[in-house]
């Protein structure tokens, strides 16, 4: 359900409760900000102590406010907030920005106060921003509104900026002003007792003015909903997220590999990538990203040409490109020949193209025109030389002419000047006036281009597969019910097999046997070496009990193995265990897993099995639902990926089959929320792909 937030974000009348003429009053600062930005609606200061504030007549109480006030800004003492909200709610006022702090961020009493506020929000169906926030800003020329105590009122633009933190909001607004980035809306969420980022995303998904959404978040109000919203908005309008608060790897003692390997940070990263978010990790990277996005050309590949009049800077740019995986391909011979027709003999015609210090506007324009067709993007370095026969603006205009045309073929052109000097600023200023991204340092241009490339790849991707695989949920539920009736929370191998097969995930052939005769029958049927082991629901570390015997290749060895395992299952430690036989599958050892994250829900894991996964923690994650494409991404994301390709005589692993397993596992755990953890370790990928060990744990209810 999308909340209508138009009266909150574009109110025609605002009351500021707690406005005061005192210079250190936050309420007074907000009222003054509203007046200064020429807010055209009605303004009502509320304060019993004054007859007027800032030349506006002052109401003594919210009770005396006229009916139909769209928005109330609350800046009163924390002990008075609930009373103000309740009185306003009764009057039919629905929209609030609560600046006052002293809620859940300050211990027990504040927590209770926030709970009471939430109750009021529900009771009167209110839209509440805050508490403990800086306010909201709408910079549209029709209804300009600075309902915040920010020192900054951004210029009009197309970026929606949602910030959980007030101080980060204020900082970012300052830098937006510094680099002349326009904003349409700014909302500081504060404690998020009412309106969350999701409410705003839902409302904004219909807003045509918005071209880019930027969110600073320290946590997610509801990640599942967030993902759905970004999936809706992202394919048209980039959603950029600075998610702060990396949590160091958790130390909780869990039995499964998946549980012990899932670091909250890796899960957040996978989640944001799956959602289709462009994640940045600092304010600087954000500014680079937004500047590049403003121009609007998103490249289709990662190949760039670098043009420079300063050789060293060209090399540093190439280095920076290599670090982030942007290619600088050598230029074809015919292109080099064209360049050599007008560049001096000292010029370097490789890539970077070093046009040396004498290069002027026509050199830049022609070189850019000639090289852009064979790459996906260009980085143009123009360091104002000591001597140049023309104004530097001419060089900027030459670049602009080509860049404008290249926009239609989605080829961005990014520039840098290597200088903050007056001459360089004239060059940069000319480009910035047309919104062509321009930076001082080449590394910044490369950073920005890397972000454009990520967005390009995202948009090229096929997106989440809507038609997910189906499993036989009813059958699976019956298996689980049986286990639960027996008072168990772990499944046997046989039960796990039942579950996996119900979702089309293949399992290694097996037999439970009680004596040598039964074992011999299975051995003869399989016709090859067997593995014999003890199976018991919830049994980990089978090896440590000596409960696995491999390479059983003769009747004699089989008889010995059955004897040894029979003895083992009669002991206390393994009592109740059964003897399980399986053929010895050959192929690559993999691991698939799932555990549930308290906020993200089911998290799937993939890795190469054996010692690697344990020692190197080389695994990748995906938050369910995992589509086939996302499954492929997970498979490719592990460092050991080369081990899955054709290697030392082994054929390449069938990667789509692995992605399919991930997709099926994802559907299984979404259908069966009582499953807490899954480990398929190992899962063998060879001629046949099959789970060899299955560990499935149920939630203890």
For binding to its own copies (CB under 8 A), which residues are involved?
Answer: 24, 26, 29, 101-102, 105-107, 149, 151, 164-168, 170-171, 174, 178, 216, 218, 242, 244-246, 248, 281-284, 309-313, 315-316, 318-320, 322-323, 345-346, 357, 383, 386-387, 418-421, 441, 443, 611-612, 614-616, 639-640, 642-643, 647-648
- Nearer to its own copies by Cβ, of 252 and 386: the residue is 386
Angle, in degrees to the nearest 10, between helices 223-233 and 264-275: 30
- Nearer to its own copies by Cβ, of 312 and 673: the residue is 312
CA Rg value for the chain? 32
CB of 184 to its own copies, least distance (A): 22
* CA distance linking residue 144 with residue 418, whole number of Å: 37
* CA distance linking residue 504 with residue 118, whole number of Å: 45
- Nearer to its own copies by Cβ, of 439 and 503: the residue is 439
CB of 428 to its own copies, least distance (A): 14
Between CA 255 and CA 264, with CA 261 as vertex, the angle to 5 degrees is 115
Structure tokens at 564: 């040894």
CB count, 10 Å around CB of 318? 21
- Nearer to its own copies by Cβ, of 102 and 144: the residue is 102
- Nearer to its own copies by Cβ, of 7 and 441: the residue is 441
* CA distance linking residue 698 with residue 677, whole number of Å: 7
Residue of 514, 556, 518 lying closest to 535 (CA atoms): 514
- Nearer to its own copies by Cβ, of 93 and 349: the residue is 349
The Cβ-side half-sphere exposure at 688, using a 13 Å CA radius, reads 11
CB of 190 to its own copies, least distance (A): 11
- Nearer to its own copies by Cβ, of 112 and 123: the residue is 112
- Nearer to its own copies by Cβ, of 213 and 313: the residue is 313
* CA distance linking residue 459 with residue 235, whole number of Å: 6
CB of 618 to its own copies, least distance (A): 8
CB of 26 to its own copies, least distance (A): 8
CB of 34 to its own copies, least distance (A): 16
Beta bridge mates, 44: 15
CA-to-CA separations, 115 to 55, 102, 111, 122, 688, in angstroms, rounded = 37, 12, 6, 11, 56
CB of 595 to its own copies, least distance (A): 22
* CA distance linking residue 186 with residue 206, whole number of Å: 17
The Cβ-side half-sphere exposure at 94, using a 13 Å CA radius, reads 12
CB of 390 to its own copies, least distance (A): 14
* CA distance linking residue 206 with residue 355, whole number of Å: 48
* CA distance linking residue 629 with residue 644, whole number of Å: 17
CB of 216 to its own copies, least distance (A): 7
CB of 447 to its own copies, least distance (A): 10
- Nearer to its own copies by Cβ, of 43 and 640: the residue is 640
- Nearer to its own copies by Cβ, of 138 and 309: the residue is 309
Asked if residues 188 and 148 have their Cβ atoms less than 8 Å apart, the reply is yes
Asked if residues 306 and 331 have their Cβ atoms less than 8 Å apart, the reply is no
Which ranges of 37-106 would DSSP assign to H, the alpha helix? 81-91
CB of 531 to its own copies, least distance (A): 18
- Nearer to its own copies by Cβ, of 564 and 639: the residue is 639
Cα torsion at 257, 261, 264, 267 (round to 10°)?
Answer: -80
Q: Which 8-state DSSP code applies to residue 490?
A: B
* CA distance linking residue 50 with residue 125, whole number of Å: 31
Structure tokens at 490: 């772990």
């Amino acid at each position: 359900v999308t909340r209508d937030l138009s009266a909150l974000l574009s109110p025609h009348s605002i009351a500021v409760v707690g406005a005061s003429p005192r210079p250190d009053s936050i309420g007074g600062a907000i009222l003054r900000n509203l007046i200064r930005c020429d807010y055209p609606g009605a303004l009502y200061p509320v304060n019993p102590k004054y007859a007027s504030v800032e030349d506006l007549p002052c109401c003594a109480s919210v009770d005396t406010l006229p009916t139909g006030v769209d928005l109330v800004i609350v800046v009163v003492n924390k002990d008075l907030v609930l009373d103000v909200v309740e009185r306003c709610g009764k009057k039919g006022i629905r929209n609030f920005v609560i600046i006052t702090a002293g809620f859940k961020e300050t211990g027990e009493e504040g927590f209770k106060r926030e709970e009471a506020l939430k109750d009021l929000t529900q009771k009167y169906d209110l839209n509440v921003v805050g508490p403990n926030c800086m306010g909201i800003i709408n910079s549209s020329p029709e209804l300009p509104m600075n309902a915040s105590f920010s020192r900054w009122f951004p210029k009009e633009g197309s970026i929606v900026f949602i910030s959980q933190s007030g101080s980060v909001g204020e900082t970012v607004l300052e830098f937006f002003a510094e680099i002349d980035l326009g904003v349409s809306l700014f909302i500081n969420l504060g404690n998020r007792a009412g309106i969350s980022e999701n409410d705003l995303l839902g409302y904004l998904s219909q807003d045509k003015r918005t071209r880019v959404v930027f969110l600073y978040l320290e946590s997610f109000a509801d990640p599942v909903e967030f993902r759905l919203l970004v999936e809706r908005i992202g394919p048209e309008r980039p959603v950029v997220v600075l998610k702060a608060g990396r949590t160091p790897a958790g130390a909780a003692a869990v039995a499964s590999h998946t549980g012990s390997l899932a670091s909250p940070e890796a899960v957040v990263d996978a989640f944001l990538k799956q959602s289709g978010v462009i994640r940045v990790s600092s304010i600087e990277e954000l500014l680079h990203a937004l500047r590049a996005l403003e121009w609007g050309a998103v490249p289709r590949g990662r190949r760039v040409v670098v043009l420079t009049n300063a050789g060293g800077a060209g090399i540093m740019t190439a280095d920076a490109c290599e670090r982030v995986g942007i290619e600088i391909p050598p230029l074809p011979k015919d292109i080099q020949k064209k360049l050599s027709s007008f560049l001096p003999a000292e010029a370097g015609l490789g890539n970077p193209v070093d046009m040396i210090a004498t290069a002027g506007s026509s050199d830049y324009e022609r070189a850019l025109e000639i090289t852009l067709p064979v790459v996906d993007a260009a980085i143009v370095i123009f360091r104002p030389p000591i001597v140049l026969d023309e104004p530097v603006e001419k060089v900027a205009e030459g670049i602009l002419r080509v860049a404008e045309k290249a926009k239609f073929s989605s080829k961005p052109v990014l520039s840098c000047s290597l200088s903050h000097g007056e001459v360089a600023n004239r060059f940069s200023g000319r480009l910035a006036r047309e919104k062509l991204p321009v930076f001082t340092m080449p590394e910044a241009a490369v950073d920005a281009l890397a972000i454009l490339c990520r967005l390009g790849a995202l948009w090229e991707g096929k997106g989440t597969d809507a038609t997910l695989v189906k499993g036989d949920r009813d059958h699976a539920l019956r298996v689980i019910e049986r286990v639960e009736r027996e008072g168990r929370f772990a499944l046997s191998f046989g039960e796990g097999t039942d579950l996996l097969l119900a979702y089309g995930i293949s399992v290694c052939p097996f037999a439970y046997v009680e004596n040598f005769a039964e074992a011999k029958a299975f051995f003869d049927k399989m016709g090859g070496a067997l593995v014999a082991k003890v199976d018991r629901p919830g049994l980990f570390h089978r090896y440590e009990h000596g409960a696995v015997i491999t390479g059983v290749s003769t009747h004699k060895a089989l008889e010995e193995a059955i004897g040894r395992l029979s003895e083992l299952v009669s002991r206390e430690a393994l009592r109740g265990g059964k003897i399980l036989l399986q053929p010895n599958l050959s192929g690559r050892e993999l691991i698939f897993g799932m555990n549930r994250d308290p906020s993200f829900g089911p998290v799937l894991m993939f890795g190469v099995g054996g010692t690697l996964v344990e020692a190197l923690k080389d695994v990748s994650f995906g938050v369910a639902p995992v589509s086939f494409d996302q499954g492929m991404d997970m498979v490719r994301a592990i460092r050991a990926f080369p081990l899955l390709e054709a290697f030392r005589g082994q054929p390449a692993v069938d990667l789509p089959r692995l992605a399919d397993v991930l997709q099926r596992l994802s559907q299984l755990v979404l259908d069966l929320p009582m499953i807490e953890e899954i480990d398929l370790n190992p899962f063998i990928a060879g001629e046949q792909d099959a789970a060899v060990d299955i560990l499935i744990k149920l939630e203890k209810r």
